[in-house]
Amino acid sequence: MFVSPSTVHPYETWVKEQAADFSKHVKKAKLPADVLMHDRDTKFTAAFDKLLREGGLRIKRKAYRSPDPCRCLRYLPVR
């Protein structure tokens, strides 16, 4: 699991910085990451996806109007 810093107002530069930090973390820790999934929020720009693709990741976008996974976890048994 990779936990990045949070911000109240994410903007393109901040999101790209998070992508670069994540890519560095994956390489440094030698993690077998190959897919990154994100929603269709406009803060995830083409430049964000490009940085991750350059790091060897495939990008998968959530389906339109798909539920928030955090909300789903309330209904699923977590062990």
Over the stretch 16-28, which tens digit does the pLDDT of each residue have? 898 889 888 888 9
pLDDT at 76: 47
* Helix, strand, coil percentages for the chain (3-state, nearest 5): 40, 10, 50
- pTM exceeds 0.75 for this model: no
Give the pLDDT band (50/70/90) at residue 67.
Answer: low
pLDDT tens digits along 44-60:
889 889 988 988 888 88
Domain positions in the chain: 12-73
